[in-house]
Amino acid sequence: MFRPRSKSLAGLALGVSLLLPPSAFAAAEVHRFSVALSATPTSVDAGDLNDIIDFYNRAAIAPLGYEPLDKINFSWLFQGEVRYFVTRSVSMNAGVGQLRSKTTKEYLPALSTSINVRADLITVPVHVGAAYYLQAYNQGDFQARMFFGGGLVSYTHSRTSFEQRLAGTPADAAGTFKFTNTQDSPGYYTEAGVHMFFATRFSVMLSVLYRSQTVRYPRGTIERSGVVVPIGPLAPYPITLPLGGMTEFNLSGVGARLGIAIGL
C-alpha cells in the first residue's frame, strides 16, 4: 500500500526540480583568469603645480579682485587590468590606467576682452602587483572574500601644464604663455577591500586604494610668442621665472575603487 505513495512523492519531487530555475542550485563562480575594469574617485596632491596656482592667484588675480583659480585636489583614475589566481588565495594583477585633472577659469575684465587660465595634470600609470584573499563567506550562490594587495607602478607620460591666454587686449602676444613640465617616475600602491562573486561570470570589487608617486626635477619648457625655451633647474639653459621653478609634482592620493571583473 506504500508503493503508490512512494511513487507519487518521487514524481512530485522530480516535477518540482524540473520547474525550479537552474540558478536556484547554482554556486558562485570564481574564475582563475579575469579582466577587470574600474573607476576610482581619488584625491591628488599636485605638489608644485598647486604652488604655481597659488602664486598666480596672489600675483595676478588678487590685485584685480577676481575669483581665484581653483587648485587641483581631485581626479578620477580609470583602470583596466588582468587578474590571475595562482592559488586559491593569491592573485597576480597587471594593468594600465589614466589619471587626469584640470582647473580652468575665464575672466572678462572688459568688453571683448578675456583672460583664459588653465592648469592641467595627466599621467598613465602601469602597475604590477598581487593580492591575498582571506577565507570566503558563502551564502547560497553568493561568495564574498576580503583581500589585501599592493604592487609597483610606473607613472608614464606624466605631464603638467599651466597656461594663460589673452584675447582682445593690446598685450595679447606678451601676456599669452604656457608652462609645461614632464617626467616619468616609479611609485607603488596598496589596496584593501572585498571581492564579491555571484552565480555568473561577473564579479564586483570594492576597495580603498592608496597611491604614492612623486615626479622630481621634471623637464620644463615655456612657450611664448611661438618660441619654446627650456626652463627649470636641470634645463640646458635655465631661466629663473616665478612660475618656472617647479622641482617636483605629486600624484599621490587615496581613493575608493569600484571594479567589475569578467571571468574568462
pLDDT at 232: 58
**For position 18, what pLDDT does the model report?**
46
Residue-wise pLDDT tens digits, 232-243: 554 443 333 444
Is residue 247, in this structure, part of any structural domain at all?
yes
Domain span including residue 206: 27-263
Q: What is the CATH number of the domain that holds 249?
A: 2.40.160.20
> Which residues make Cβ contacts (< 8 Å) with residue 138, sequence separation at least 6?
28
Dump strand ranges (E) for the chain: 33-43, 74-85, 90-110, 113-133, 137-139, 142-167, 177-182, 185-197, 202-212, 214-216, 219-224, 227-231, 248-250, 253-263
Q: What letter does residue 69 receive in the DSSP assignment?
A: P
- Position 22 pLDDT exceeds 70: no
On whether residue 12 sits in a domain, the answer given is no
SS3 38: strand
Asked if pLDDT for residue 23 goes beyond 90, the answer is no
Rounded Cα gap, residues 119 and 159, in angstroms: 11
Indicate if the pLDDT at residue 3 is higher than 80. Answer: no
DSSP-assigned states of every residue in 232-262: STTSSS----TTT---EEE--EEEEEEEEEE
Does the residue 191 lie in any domain?
Answer: yes
21 inside domain: no
Contact 252, 211 (CB under 8 A): yes
Quickly state the pLDDT bin for 48 (edges 50, 70, 90): confident
| Domain-embedded: residue 22 | no
Q: How many Å apart are CA 231 and CA 244, to the nearest integer? A: 6
Determine the pLDDT at residue 16: 40
Q: Is the pLDDT reported for residue 9 higher than 70? A: no
Residue 250 forms part of a structural domain: yes
- Number of independent structural domains in the chain: 1
The 10s digit of each residue's pLDDT in 144-199 is 999 999 999 999 999 989 998 888 766 555 578 888 888 888 999 999 999 999 99
In a domain, 96, yes or no: yes
* Count of C-beta atoms within a 10 Å radius of residue 217: 14
Does the residue 17 lie in any domain? no
Of residues 100 and 2, more confidently modeled: 100
